[in-house]
């Protein structure tokens, strides 16, 4: 069941997603070698609550934290921990907020200190593929148009697309229909309609596409231990195309020329 949102509901979703963007911007100020990912999680939770929101992931399906923080070969759903960031790491930070009854959901992969050109290019390509997907998000197209745009962009550059996880509809629930895979065929899948809200979130690997889940039941890692990147926006589909409800503006104001 796909829930189409009214204009008023889309504005509420924008507010949730702006708080997600501001929270990630707050985290961006603290990301540096030596800080623990647990500390980043504490900062995010405090910031969300101070701004009237509730962390969207904490307690969701038993997830323990406000942020999913996935370093290096972790793809998604990493637990914040006592791990201290070090120069050359990358971390994918995924943040969810509930505000006024609606969910926001967005993710960004940050470089920590000096990161190799090879890995920076993975990050850039993954972010670019997100916008290639978003460019397909308009009434009359299908989910598969988004999926294939992401897949083609990344695979033609030598990267691989994680199959086991995908984007999703979003609204009063964090995960609604439809699923939004990052691979697929043009012209296939559910029809896109005005008022649909979806999270598009390519998870792209430097090496093989294969992943496994750790014993904690959550953390997804690449099988070959090579790095993986993750960028996510929540968007609304409107008559004239995608309205991006989440934002990287607050992150990139902090990162400046270190922006991906
Ligand atoms: Mg997310
Ligand atoms: Mg999501």
Taking only the tens place, the pLDDT of each residue in 9-47 is 999 999 999 999 999 999 999 999 999 999 999 999 999
Q: Is the dihedral of CA 164, 170, 173, 179 positive or negative?
A: negative
Edge-to-edge strands, sheet with 160-161: 160-161, 203-205, 228-230
pLDDT value for 158: 98
Nearest-ligand number for the alpha carbon of 176: 2
Alpha-carbon distance of 38 to 83, in angstroms, equals 8
From the CA of 199, how far away is ligand 1's center (Å)?
8
Per-chain residues with Cβ under 5 A from ion ligand 1 = 94, 105, 107, 232
Cα of 44 vs centre of ligand 1, distance in Å, is: 14
State the pLDDT at residue 254.
98
Query: Which secondary structure element, helix H or strand E, spans residue 16, and what is its range?
Result: helix 7-28
Residue 167: nearest ligand to its CA? 2
| Amino acid 251: pLDDT | 98
109-137 tens-digit pLDDT: 999 999 999 999 999 999 999 999 999 99
Domain boundaries, the chain: 7-258
Say which CATH class 7-258 falls into. Answer: alpha beta
Chain centroid to CA 169: 13
């Amino acid at each position: 069941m796909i829930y189409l949102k009214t204009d008023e509901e889309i504005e509420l979703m924008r507010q949730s997603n702006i708080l997600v963007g501001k929270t990630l911007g707050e985290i961006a100020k603290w990301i540096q070698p030596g800080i623990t990912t647990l500390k980043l999680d504490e900062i995010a939770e405090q910031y969300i609550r101070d701004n009237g929101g509730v962390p969207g992931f904490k307690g969701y399906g038993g997830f323990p934290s406000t942020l999913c923080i996935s370093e290096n070969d972790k793809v998604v759903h990493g637990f914040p921990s006592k791990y201290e960031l070090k120069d050359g790491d990358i971390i994918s930070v995924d943040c969810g907020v509930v505000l006024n009854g609606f969910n926001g959901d967005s993710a960004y992969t940050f470089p920590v200190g000096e990161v190799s050109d090879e890995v920076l290019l993975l990050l850039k390509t993954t972010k670019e593929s997100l916008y290639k997907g978003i460019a397909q998000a308009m009434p009359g197209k299908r989910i598969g148009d988004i999926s294939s745009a992401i897949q083609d962009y990344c695979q033609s550059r030598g990267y691989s697309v994680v199959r086991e996880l995908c984007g999703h509809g979003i609204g009063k629930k964090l995960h609604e229909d439809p699923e939004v895979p990052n691979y697929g065929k043009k012209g296939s899948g559910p029809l896109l309609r005005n008022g649909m809200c979806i999270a598009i979130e390519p998870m792209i690997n430097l090496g093989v596409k294969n992943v496994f889940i750790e014993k904690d039941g959550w953390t997804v890692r690449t099988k070959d231990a090579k790095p993986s990147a993750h960028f996510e926006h929540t968007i609304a589909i409107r008559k004239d195309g995608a309205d991006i409800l989440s934002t990287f503006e607050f992150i990139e104001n902090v990162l400046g020329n270190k922006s991906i």
